[in-house]
Structure 1
Amino acid sequence: MKRFVYIITDRNRKNLHVGMCTDLLKTIKFYGDMPTLFFDSSQQLNRLVYFEEINTEEQAMARFQQVSTYTRMQKEKMIRPVNPDWIDLTAGLNFESGIRVRPTNYGRPSIPSARRAVTF
């Protein structure tokens, strides 16, 4: 079973949290559902900036322990070559897995479901 070692951060890139999981999308959803579990609300971890897919549990645990001991500068040196703008990688994962996220309607009028035929 594949394992993922990931680094997640808040919107200000103040905290870098290293984790390991088997289902990356479910884990990211968990962080979104429980925003104040690890930190207060201003430091909500919601931006996946780095992840590695590893085939075996032993290799994943060794890599997780290694990355967990890194300093902030070492973690940034890992992130910058693959994600220089520190964008959230969750959107790409959603696209790859075939999950369609429906955009929310922010105050725009909805389109009526039954349209009238226009006659001239």
Structure 2
Amino acid sequence: MKKFVYVVTDRNRTSLHVGMSSDLIKTLDFYKQMPCLLFDSGQQLTRLVYFEELKTEAQALSRFKLISRFTRTQKERLVRSCNPDWIDLTIGLDFEHITTNKKMVNQVNLSFSILS
């Protein structure tokens, strides 16, 4: 099962939060729907700026622990190494998720029509 280590930030890049998840889209939806109990709307961690996909939970946990210990400067360098403009990567993940689901639905429909 795939595991992800990710970095999310707010719109002003004030906070950088490192996390680990097996379902990145679901986790990001949680961040977006999380009530503003702890943060004002400007500080909500809704922008995915970095993620890695790892094959095992042990690899992910090891990487998560390492990145969590990074200083803010090191985290910023990590993000800039693959996302220099700090673009919200959620858009690409949503698109990939939607197209993958459409392909699966089309394959099921095709299989069903062949069986009918």
Q: What TM-score does the superposition give when structure 1 sets the normalisation length? A: 0.78
What does the per-residue CA deviation read over 1:39-67, in whole Å, with 9 as the maximum and x for residues that have no partner? Answer: 33331111000000000000100100000
What does the per-residue CA deviation read over 1:6-30, in whole Å, with 9 as the maximum and x for residues that have no partner? Answer: 0000000010000000000000000
Matched with 1:60 is 60
Matched with 1:81 is 81
How many residues are matched? 99
User: Going by fraction, where is helix more abundant, 1 or 2?
Assistant: 2
Whole-angstrom CA distance in 2 between matches of 1:37 and 1:65: 27
Alpha-carbon RMSD across the aligned residues, in angstroms, is: 1.3
Identical-pair percentage: 63
Letter in 1 for 2:84: P
Whole-angstrom CA distance in 1 between matches of 2:37 and 2:58: 27
Structure 1: runs of 5+ lacking an equivalent: 100-120
Letter in 2 for 1:40: D
Give the deviation of 1:97 after TM superposition: 1.2
Letter in 1 for 2:89: L
Whole-angstrom CA distance in 2 between matches of 1:3 and 1:61: 9
SS of residue matched to 1:98: helix
Give the deviation of 1:37 after TM superposition: 5.1
Matched with 2:41 is 41
Whole-angstrom CA distance in 2 between matches of 1:81 and 1:53: 16
Largest Rg, 1 or 2: 1
Structure 2: runs of 5+ lacking an equivalent: 100-116
Matched with 2:113 is none
Matched with 1:20 is 20
